[in-house]
Amino acid sequence: MADTFKSDLLQGKVAFVAGASSGINLRIAERLAEAGAKVAMISRSEEKISAAAGKIRAQGGDALGMAADVRDYDSVAATLQQAREHYGELDIVLSGAAGNFVAPALGMSANGFRTVVDIDLNGTFNVLRAAFEHLRKPGASLISITAPQAVQPQIYQAHVCAAKAGINMLTKCLAMEWGPAGVRVNAISPGPIGDTEGMARLAPTPEIEARYKAQLALRDFGTKDDIADTCLFLCSDAARYITGTIVDCDGGTALGDASHDALSRPE
């Protein structure tokens, strides 16, 4: 894998990725490193984030792993300060820490609802707000991970729908406030991504997985690389005039149920 670290698209750039010990966010951190960025990474587990950063270094990248809980503003601020001291001003910040579980509203405790909002919405604010003073201005790119549930109501996901809707609006508000400083703020909305913990919870059996895919316009789950590549585009100069945008990388999930087969429908 070491030979994959050959792109210079982000050479000289510094990235900070929250929630990067596994899943989509780890793949994003890897892709940014593959493109030449120096990557500071945080997660609640010091053991897991150290292992993730070590994996990137073993593949030829430059990564620093630090433990922090995105729900704790001071903890996040401390790791951002450490990243700044280690690498210099930040060019890219990715806030992707998230929590989820499947439960009807009447089967969900107030603590369960609050926990998801704290991790997803409050955590996103904490990361982006604490990062501002460390950004390279103008030129920095901030990206959050949201979800189709932000705009598409879904049963057993009231907590996630509420939290992700907040992230969407936070993205737009910060884009307006911070744009004059030359800071772009966008979000990526992944659809169902295979081989992730979240998808395993939402589609725990082959039958449920098949039903999910049948409703998608593209009839398949996405990959972690799909999201990582979208992030790479948004933080590159190719997206220099894009801000306040929610990019749907979801196979058509946000379009609604596409289980019909219009192509075979008779005239």
In a domain, 212, yes or no: yes
In a domain, 262, yes or no: no
In a domain, 149, yes or no: yes
Is the CB of residue 13 less than 8 Å from the CB of residue 37? Answer: yes
Is the CB of residue 36 less than 8 Å from the CB of residue 7? Answer: yes
In a domain, 261, yes or no: no
Please state the domain count of the chain: 1
What pLDDT does residue 91 have? 98
CA torsion sign for 252, 254, 256, 259 is positive
pLDDT band for position 5 (50/70/90)? Answer: very low
pLDDT band for position 259 (50/70/90)? Answer: confident
Name the residue range of residue 227's domain: 8-252
pLDDT band for position 3 (50/70/90)? Answer: very low
* Segment 236-265 mean pLDDT: 87
Q: Name 188's bridge partners.
A: 145, 247
Q: Hey, what are 24's tokens?
A: 């989509």
Domain holding 217: CATH number?
3.40.50.720
Per-residue pLDDT of 198-217, as tens digits, reads: 777 778 888 888 888 898 99
* Segment 158-162 mean pLDDT: 97
Strand residues in 89-233 grouped as ranges (E): 92-95, 141-145, 184-190
Per-residue pLDDT of 88-127, as tens digits, reads: 999 999 999 999 998 999 999 999 999 999 999 999 999 9
Is the CB of residue 197 less than 8 Å from the CB of residue 21? Answer: no
In a domain, 244, yes or no: yes
* Segment 42-53 mean pLDDT: 97
In a domain, 40, yes or no: yes
In a domain, 2, yes or no: no
Task: Say if pTM beats, i.e. exceeds, 0.85.
Answer: yes
pLDDT at 24 over 50: yes
